[in-house]
Structure 1
Amino acid sequence: MSSYQTEVQNLNYNAATRCFEALVVFHEGHETRKVPISAPLPIDTEFEAVSTILVARAKSHRARGRAVLMSRSPAQKTGRLVHLNDMIRQFKDAMGLNDMPTAA
Protein backbone atom coordinates (compact mmCIF):
# COMPACT_ATOMS: atom_id res chain seq x y z
CA MET A 1 0.00 0.00 0.00
CA SER A 2 1.46 3.36 -0.97
CA SER A 3 1.42 6.43 1.25
CA TYR A 4 -0.64 9.48 0.35
CA GLN A 5 -0.32 12.96 1.78
CA THR A 6 -1.42 16.44 0.72
CA GLU A 7 0.11 19.70 1.88
CA VAL A 8 -0.34 23.38 1.12
CA GLN A 9 2.92 25.30 0.71
CA ASN A 10 3.77 28.98 0.18
CA LEU A 11 0.30 30.28 0.96
CA ASN A 12 0.07 33.98 0.07
CA TYR A 13 -2.64 36.56 -0.46
CA ASN A 14 -2.25 38.54 -3.68
CA ALA A 15 -3.94 41.89 -3.05
CA ALA A 16 -3.72 42.89 -6.71
CA THR A 17 -5.85 39.92 -7.83
CA ARG A 18 -7.68 39.48 -4.47
CA CYS A 19 -6.77 35.79 -4.51
CA PHE A 20 -5.08 33.34 -2.20
CA GLU A 21 -2.23 31.57 -4.01
CA ALA A 22 -0.40 28.43 -2.97
CA LEU A 23 1.46 25.36 -4.11
CA VAL A 24 -0.54 22.22 -3.31
CA VAL A 25 1.72 19.16 -3.09
CA PHE A 26 0.37 15.63 -3.48
CA HIS A 27 2.73 12.90 -2.18
CA GLU A 28 1.75 9.51 -3.58
CA GLY A 29 4.28 6.77 -2.94
CA HIS A 30 7.40 7.74 -4.91
CA GLU A 31 5.66 10.47 -6.90
CA THR A 32 5.18 14.09 -5.98
CA ARG A 33 2.82 16.34 -7.91
CA LYS A 34 2.93 20.07 -7.31
CA VAL A 35 -0.02 22.15 -8.44
CA PRO A 36 0.20 25.96 -8.35
CA ILE A 37 -3.32 27.17 -7.63
CA SER A 38 -5.27 30.28 -6.69
CA ALA A 39 -8.74 31.05 -5.37
CA PRO A 40 -10.55 34.40 -5.32
CA LEU A 41 -11.47 34.77 -1.64
CA PRO A 42 -11.70 37.66 0.83
CA ILE A 43 -8.53 38.32 2.82
CA ASP A 44 -10.31 37.55 6.12
CA THR A 45 -11.26 33.98 5.11
CA GLU A 46 -10.31 31.36 7.74
CA PHE A 47 -7.18 29.32 7.00
CA GLU A 48 -9.06 26.00 7.14
CA ALA A 49 -11.54 27.20 4.52
CA VAL A 50 -8.78 28.57 2.28
CA SER A 51 -6.73 25.37 2.44
CA THR A 52 -9.80 23.18 1.82
CA ILE A 53 -10.77 25.22 -1.25
CA LEU A 54 -7.21 25.29 -2.62
CA VAL A 55 -6.80 21.52 -2.21
CA ALA A 56 -10.17 20.88 -3.87
CA ARG A 57 -9.23 23.10 -6.82
CA ALA A 58 -5.83 21.42 -7.11
CA LYS A 59 -7.48 17.96 -7.11
CA SER A 60 -9.78 19.14 -9.88
CA HIS A 61 -6.82 20.39 -11.93
CA ARG A 62 -4.98 17.11 -11.33
CA ALA A 63 -8.02 15.05 -12.39
CA ARG A 64 -8.18 17.00 -15.66
CA GLY A 65 -4.48 16.40 -16.33
CA ARG A 66 -3.49 20.02 -15.74
CA ALA A 67 -1.09 19.25 -12.86
CA VAL A 68 2.09 19.36 -14.91
CA LEU A 69 4.76 19.73 -12.20
CA MET A 70 5.64 16.17 -11.22
CA SER A 71 8.72 14.45 -9.85
CA ARG A 72 9.58 10.86 -9.05
CA SER A 73 11.95 9.67 -6.39
CA PRO A 74 15.36 8.73 -7.84
CA ALA A 75 15.70 6.00 -5.21
CA GLN A 76 13.44 3.56 -7.05
CA LYS A 77 14.17 2.32 -10.54
CA THR A 78 12.42 -0.63 -12.17
CA GLY A 79 11.28 -2.08 -8.87
CA ARG A 80 14.67 -2.17 -7.13
CA LEU A 81 16.60 0.31 -5.05
CA VAL A 82 19.55 1.97 -6.72
CA HIS A 83 22.68 2.09 -4.58
CA LEU A 84 23.93 5.58 -3.73
CA ASN A 85 27.39 4.89 -5.20
CA ASP A 86 25.76 3.92 -8.53
CA MET A 87 23.91 7.23 -8.58
CA ILE A 88 27.12 9.14 -7.79
CA ARG A 89 29.01 7.23 -10.50
CA GLN A 90 26.30 8.02 -13.07
CA PHE A 91 26.40 11.69 -12.10
CA LYS A 92 30.19 11.86 -12.32
CA ASP A 93 30.14 10.13 -15.72
CA ALA A 94 27.58 12.62 -16.99
CA MET A 95 29.57 15.59 -15.66
CA GLY A 96 33.00 14.30 -16.72
CA LEU A 97 34.25 14.02 -13.13
CA ASN A 98 35.54 10.43 -13.23
CA ASP A 99 38.75 11.19 -11.29
CA MET A 100 36.90 12.20 -8.08
CA PRO A 101 36.73 9.53 -5.30
CA THR A 102 33.34 7.96 -4.60
CA ALA A 103 31.58 8.80 -1.32
CA ALA A 104 30.79 6.06 1.18
Structure 2
Amino acid sequence: MSSYQTEVQNLNYNAATRCFEALVVFHEGHETRKVPISTPLPIATDFEAVSTVLVARAKAHRSKGRARLVSRSPIQKSGRLIHINDMIRQLKDTMGLKDMPAAA
Protein backbone atom coordinates (compact mmCIF):
# COMPACT_ATOMS: atom_id res chain seq x y z
CA MET A 1 0.00 0.00 0.00
CA SER A 2 1.46 3.36 -0.98
CA SER A 3 1.37 6.45 1.21
CA TYR A 4 -0.29 9.68 0.11
CA GLN A 5 0.32 13.12 1.58
CA THR A 6 -0.22 16.69 0.38
CA GLU A 7 1.58 19.78 1.62
CA VAL A 8 1.64 23.47 0.77
CA GLN A 9 5.14 24.98 0.57
CA ASN A 10 6.47 28.50 0.04
CA LEU A 11 3.14 30.25 0.51
CA ASN A 12 3.39 33.92 -0.47
CA TYR A 13 0.99 36.75 -1.17
CA ASN A 14 1.76 38.66 -4.38
CA ALA A 15 0.37 42.15 -3.83
CA ALA A 16 0.86 43.10 -7.49
CA THR A 17 -1.51 40.36 -8.68
CA ARG A 18 -3.52 40.09 -5.43
CA CYS A 19 -2.96 36.34 -5.44
CA PHE A 20 -1.64 33.77 -3.03
CA GLU A 21 1.12 31.69 -4.64
CA ALA A 22 2.51 28.37 -3.41
CA LEU A 23 4.04 25.08 -4.36
CA VAL A 24 1.63 22.22 -3.65
CA VAL A 25 3.49 18.93 -3.20
CA PHE A 26 1.78 15.57 -3.64
CA HIS A 27 3.69 12.64 -2.09
CA GLU A 28 2.41 9.39 -3.59
CA GLY A 29 4.45 6.32 -2.72
CA HIS A 30 7.84 6.73 -4.40
CA GLU A 31 6.75 9.74 -6.46
CA THR A 32 6.63 13.42 -5.59
CA ARG A 33 4.69 15.76 -7.86
CA LYS A 34 5.09 19.52 -7.34
CA VAL A 35 2.53 21.93 -8.73
CA PRO A 36 3.19 25.69 -8.67
CA ILE A 37 -0.21 27.32 -8.27
CA SER A 38 -1.84 30.65 -7.46
CA THR A 39 -5.31 31.84 -6.56
CA PRO A 40 -6.82 35.33 -6.30
CA LEU A 41 -7.96 35.79 -2.69
CA PRO A 42 -7.99 38.76 -0.29
CA ILE A 43 -4.87 39.11 1.85
CA ALA A 44 -6.93 38.67 5.04
CA THR A 45 -7.98 35.11 4.09
CA ASP A 46 -6.92 32.59 6.75
CA PHE A 47 -4.34 29.89 6.00
CA GLU A 48 -6.79 26.97 6.13
CA ALA A 49 -9.03 28.52 3.46
CA VAL A 50 -6.07 29.49 1.27
CA SER A 51 -4.47 26.05 1.50
CA THR A 52 -7.79 24.31 0.75
CA VAL A 53 -8.28 26.38 -2.42
CA LEU A 54 -4.64 25.97 -3.51
CA VAL A 55 -4.73 22.18 -3.06
CA ALA A 56 -8.04 21.92 -4.94
CA ARG A 57 -6.64 23.97 -7.85
CA ALA A 58 -3.42 21.92 -7.85
CA LYS A 59 -5.44 18.67 -7.98
CA ALA A 60 -7.39 20.05 -10.93
CA HIS A 61 -4.14 20.95 -12.74
CA ARG A 62 -2.72 17.51 -11.94
CA SER A 63 -5.78 15.70 -13.28
CA LYS A 64 -5.53 17.67 -16.54
CA GLY A 65 -1.85 16.71 -16.93
CA ARG A 66 -0.49 20.17 -16.21
CA ALA A 67 1.60 19.12 -13.20
CA ARG A 68 4.99 18.62 -14.82
CA LEU A 69 7.44 18.82 -11.90
CA VAL A 70 7.94 15.19 -10.86
CA SER A 71 10.66 13.50 -8.84
CA ARG A 72 10.96 9.85 -7.91
CA SER A 73 12.87 8.10 -5.16
CA PRO A 74 15.41 5.44 -6.10
CA ILE A 75 13.98 2.42 -7.93
CA GLN A 76 12.86 -0.40 -5.69
CA LYS A 77 14.02 -3.76 -6.99
CA SER A 78 13.67 -7.11 -5.28
CA GLY A 79 12.85 -5.62 -1.89
CA ARG A 80 15.73 -3.14 -1.69
CA LEU A 81 16.38 0.34 -2.97
CA ILE A 82 18.92 0.83 -5.73
CA HIS A 83 20.89 3.94 -4.82
CA ILE A 84 22.55 6.33 -7.23
CA ASN A 85 26.01 4.77 -6.77
CA ASP A 86 24.62 1.36 -7.75
CA MET A 87 22.89 2.91 -10.77
CA ILE A 88 26.16 4.58 -11.88
CA ARG A 89 28.06 1.32 -11.42
CA GLN A 90 25.45 -0.53 -13.53
CA LEU A 91 25.64 2.16 -16.23
CA LYS A 92 29.45 1.97 -16.37
CA ASP A 93 29.29 -1.83 -16.63
CA THR A 94 26.73 -1.61 -19.45
CA MET A 95 28.77 0.93 -21.40
CA GLY A 96 32.07 -0.88 -20.86
CA LEU A 97 33.46 1.89 -18.67
CA LYS A 98 34.11 -0.32 -15.67
CA ASP A 99 37.78 0.73 -15.40
CA MET A 100 37.06 4.46 -15.67
CA PRO A 101 38.51 6.30 -12.63
CA ALA A 102 36.15 8.21 -10.34
CA ALA A 103 36.06 12.01 -10.42
CA ALA A 104 38.35 13.78 -7.97
User: TM > 0.5 between the two?
Assistant: yes
Aligned to 2:34: 34
1:1-104 map, 5 Å: 1-76=1-76, 81-83=81-83, 85-89=85-89, 93=92, 98-100=100-102
TM-score of the superposition, structure 1-length normalised?
Answer: 0.80
Per the alignment, do residues 89 and 8 of structure 1 end up closer, same or farther by CA in structure 2, a change over 3 Å counting? same
Alpha-carbon deviation of 1:43?
Answer: 0.5
Q: Which amino acid aligns with 2:101?
A: D
Q: Could you give the per-residue CA deviations for residues 4-42 of structure 1, whole angstroms, max 9, x where no partner exists?
A: 000000100000000000000000000111000000000
Distance of 1:78 and 1:68 partners within structure 2: 29
How many residues are treated as equivalent by the alignment? 99
Alpha-carbon deviation of 1:98?
Answer: 3.1
Distance of 2:83 and 2:74 partners within structure 1: 10
Extract unaligned runs of 5+ from structure 2. none
Per the alignment, do residues 31 and 83 of structure 1 end up closer, same or farther by CA in structure 2, a change over 3 Å counting? closer
Q: Which amino acid aligns with 2:46?
A: E
Q: Which amino acid aligns with 2:53?
A: I
Alpha-carbon deviation of 1:88?
Answer: 4.6
Q: Which amino acid aligns with 1:40?
A: P
Percent identical: 78
Question: What is the root-mean-square deviation in Å for CA atoms of aligned residues?
Answer: 2.7
Extract unaligned runs of 5+ from structure 1. none
Distance of 2:36 and 2:54 partners within structure 1: 9
